[in-house]
Amino acid sequence: MVVLVTGGSGYVGSLLIRRLPFEKGFEGEVVRIFDNMAGDKYFSLFDLPEGADYEFVLGDLTKAEDLKRALVDVDLVFDLAGITSVPLSFKMSEETKKVNVEGAGNLLETALSSGVRKVIYSSSAAVYGDVSGLVDESHPCRPASPYAESKMLAEQLYLKAHRERGLGVVVLRFGTVYGYAPGMRFDTVVNRFAFLAAIGSPLTVWRGAASALRPYLYVGDAVSALVLAARREDANGNVFNVTTENAPLSDVIAAVKEAVPDCVIQYVEPPYQQQVSYGLIDSKIRSLGYEPQGSLKLGVREIVGKFRAFLHSRKGRGHRALVPETL
């Protein structure tokens, strides 16, 4: 049997493809990676573990012929592909819709015609929009960006296919992912702050933002949730929030300060006053056996450790903030 991972060179996908062949119930299955490599993350595919059976299909979600090749003999799909940047989605709203919504529809139709049994869809807590407090899966979705809207629309396509056409579907709404994976991203706050601190650059924080609550998800826990959703047949047709912890930005700063004690925090006036503060209630997926193992401290340590050469280079020379940055 073949398991397909779309977006397998991406942040979460690059870790999933390494863990999946050694997870209980997946031993011996072919892991087929489907990616258009638009992000040039070829390094995500370096040194895949031995003892696993991998295939790679270079293709695009918007091209039916590519998907037909990718879905031959596939039983299970982890759909992690798409445009994932909120700022970029404002600049490329039509392209974001084409890839994230039309692409999901193409994958869905081809999966149904190819005999796929189940799809695990990686969505985002961004679908809730500008909310406050703690939200569960029943909370109304009011997306505030083209990216978030595209994820909500793709969710709806998949869930409709489950209700009306019998496809096994699980939707996972991830919090902000952090921590080390081969296909790293540095456009989110935890990873970005860890990098800046490691290279000796100050962290610029808006006044009043440190108390703002956010849902954070360790990348290893994201993979665990994906695997759990694939295993549990009673998860079909459901939407699950997934987080490691809901934490204020001050906890992120504290984790960075612990890993890099000499890092400098600069507080500046925000360009606007609205500070969204919210977290995810994820008791629903925890009731299925999801037990997060990560923490902000762990994720920050992992990333800072990858840049340890910069820490060593300034030992004994005091702190030097070389590249001021604003986030």
Active site residues: 147
Number of H helices, E strands in the chain: 12, 14
Q: How many residues does the chain have?
A: 327
Angle CA(265)–CA(293)–CA(76) in degrees, nearest 5?
Answer: 115
Burial track 99-119 (b if 16+ CB lie within 10 A, e otherwise): bbbbbbbbbbebbeebebebb
User: Three-state DSSP class for 303?
Assistant: helix
233 within 8 A of 169, measured Cβ to Cβ: no
Angle CA(237)–CA(68)–CA(92) in degrees, nearest 5?
Answer: 75
Rounded CA gap, 308 and 304, in Å?
Answer: 6
Beta strands at 168-174 and 118-124: parallel, antiparallel or unpaired: parallel
Stated as kind and residue range, the H or E segment containing 265 is strand 265-268
